[in-house]
Amino acid sequence: MIRLADIRFRWRSRDPLVLDIPELAVDSGEKLFVRGPSGGGKTTLLNLLGGVIEPEAGTVSILGTEMAGLRGGTRDAFRAGHIGFVFQMFNLVPYLPLIDNVLLPCRFSARRRERAGAHPEAEARRLLTHMELPVERLAGRPVSGLSQGEQQRVAAARALIGTPELVIADEPTSALDEDAREAFLSLLMEEVDKAGSTLIFVSHDARLEPAFGRSIAMAEINRATPER
Ligand SMILES: Nc1ncnc2c1ncn2[C@@H]1O[C@H](COP(=O)(O)OP(=O)(O)OP(=O)(O)O)[C@@H](O)[C@H]1O
Ligand SMILES: [Mg+2]
């Protein structure tokens, strides 16, 4: 599913390396928990997996596709078609209502739209309801009027719609209380299992770790992460 080899990345040429990863392989259907110190390169690694940034050296292969071989629009289409992202800062479109935010991947990708079934809007509502959001009550509001925890669940529904093969979640539970966190995690797992997706989940919260098939510390894979 994912294979990284001899990756080096820095944000600016005069900066030190943020990623120095000799190897990382993730199998199809695997659920991987990634932990590590703040500033240790977790979000940077997820950006690399999503083809948002390119390494200065090394190769990133996702679903057998070499990311470096994809240019501009093709890479955007690949990302929209195959990867669901829950960003650390949600990245919702503030003026759009929640259903439209969830449907965005279906707008950008015919593949995601087809995989969302005959009625993508109904699928959006199902996912939001499954994330325990009171859809009817919140539906008319722009998402900027939702709480942080509500926005986080909208972001998760958006990542899941149209069953992408790879779901990437960056601290998706940081705004949730304990009950909501447990519920969110089991719902996410259920949807990921049903779709047969691979999940990469970044968190500081070690309490979530037992729910995952494999767990790695950034310092184990990335020579540029300080051990802590
Ligand atoms: N867009 C950017 N431009 C320049 N430097 C960046 C950028 N994003 C991150 N960095 C730097 O890269 C390093 C790794 O940041 P990153 O966001 O990947 O860490 P993280 O492990 O996700 O941290 P956190 O747990 O706080 O989210 C940090 O030193 C950070 O300052
Ligand atoms: Mg981060």
Token pair recorded at residue 3: 């294979």
Residues with Cβ within 8 Å of residue 178, at least 6 apart in sequence? none
How far apart are alpha carbons 204 and 182 in whole angstroms? 15
> Domain residues of the chain, as ranges?
2-221
What is the pLDDT, as a whole number, of residue 109? 96
Burial of 179 (0-12, 13-18, 19+ CB in 10 A): exposed
How far apart are alpha carbons 48 and 26 in whole angstroms? 14
Nearest CA to ligand 1 atom 29: 39
| CA–centroid distance, residue 130 to ligand 1 (Å) | 32
Classify domain 2-221 at the CATH class level.
Answer: alpha beta
Give the closest ligand to the alpha carbon of residue 38. Answer: 1
How far apart are alpha carbons 24 and 45 in whole angstroms? 11
For the CA of 45, the closest atom of ligand 1 is: 18
| CA–centroid distance, residue 14 to ligand 1 (Å) | 15
Nearest CA to ligand 1 atom 17: 43
What is the pLDDT, as a whole number, of residue 87? 87
What is the pLDDT, as a whole number, of residue 182? 86
How far apart are alpha carbons 219 and 87 in whole angstroms? 22
What is the pLDDT, as a whole number, of residue 90? 79
Average pLDDT per run of 10 along the chain, which is 228 residues long?
97 96 97 95 95 95 93 91 90 92 96 97 95 90 89 94 97 86 90 96 91 96 88
Nearest CA to ligand 1 atom 8: 44
For the CA of 12, the closest atom of ligand 1 is: 4
What is the pLDDT, as a whole number, of residue 36? 93
φ, ψ dihedrals at 65, nearest 5°: -105, 130
Give the closest ligand to the alpha carbon of residue 86. Answer: 2
Give the closest ligand to the alpha carbon of residue 42. Answer: 1
* Distance between start and end Cα atoms, the chain: 29
Q: Give the pTM.
A: 0.94
What is the pLDDT, as a whole number, of residue 80? 94
How far apart are alpha carbons 180 and 195 in whole angstroms? 22
| CA–centroid distance, residue 170 to ligand 2 (Å) | 7
| CA–centroid distance, residue 205 to ligand 2 (Å) | 13
Per DSSP, which regions of 48-194 are E strands? 57-62, 65-66, 83-86, 166-170
